[in-house]
Amino acid sequence: MSEPERFARDVAENIKALEADGDLQALSRFWVRATSPYKYTYNFTWMGRPIIQLPQDILAMQELIFRIRPELIIETGIAHGGSLVFHASMLELLGGAGTVLGIDIDIRAHNRVEIEKHPMAHRIRMLQGSSIDPEIVRAVESAAAGRANVLVALDSNHTHDHVLAELRAYSPLVRAGSYLVVFDTLVEDMPEGFFPDRPWGKGNSPKTAVHAFLRENDRFEIDRDLQSKLLLTVAPDGYLRCIKD
């Protein structure tokens, strides 16, 4: 066995051990829940733009982008644009003509200005409208036409019905070997009433949508190794690997 093979074996064993450690998994969920009231994820930027993600999930997306080398990354939910810039910067490092398409029902003017003047703007395109509006879906399908590798990240309205509609709309664009990532599935793991000012919550969340989607679609599976090694993630059960075209 070569040294790289031995290292890969050790990493795989580490991940299985992490997955089997129930106490550590529970502690990690508690940590994420305990930091949520302090808006922990709001504290980080990528190339100057607020990214509003856990650092572990940012690293996970970097791994996926490097491995998949997507020609198009579709992202629903733009906010301050940090994730758009992050995805664009990864594509810039890879070279080629890869682009990022961001969709949001309300792109705030001040955020649009900052995104459009950013050094990564040449790889970013934005659409304003609901990510499940048929017209927006058709525009995204048009942008994805002819692209061999498409990576999708869903991070907009977190209600069950909305996320399930997004999954149904955008999953056909993802081919075997790529991923469809659903963020904020951890909403389901929070206590009842944890989001009093939001339309989503326990029983009505991205995670319930993911499991409903997987019951009707056999092209995707949860990448449990990825979430197990992260420990701290806003997307438990949300890293969906496409296993067949």
- pLDDT tens for the chain, 245 residues long, are 899 999 999 999 999 999 999 999 999 999 999 999 999 999 999 999 999 999 999 999 999 999 999 999 999 999 999 999 999 999 999 999 999 999 999 999 999 999 999 999 999 999 999 999 999 999 999 999 999 899 999 999 999 999 999 999 999 999 999 999 999 999 999 888 888 889 999 999 999 999 999 999 999 999 999 999 999 999 999 999 999 99
CATH label of the domain that carries residue 57: 3.40.50.150
User: From CA 69, how far away is CA 91, in angstroms rounded?
Assistant: 8
Parallel/antiparallel/unpaired status of strands 179-182 and 239-242: antiparallel
- Secondary structure in 3-state letters for 96-128: CCCEEEEEECCCCHHHHHHHHCCCCHHHEEEEE
Q: Of how many residues is the chain composed?
A: 245
User: From CA 71, how far away is CA 137, in angstroms rounded?
Assistant: 18
Per the structure, the complete domain to which residue 148 belongs is given by 3-242
**Total structural domains in the chain?**
1
Residues 6+ away with beta carbon under 8 Å from 139: 127
Two tokens, residue 149: 């590798």
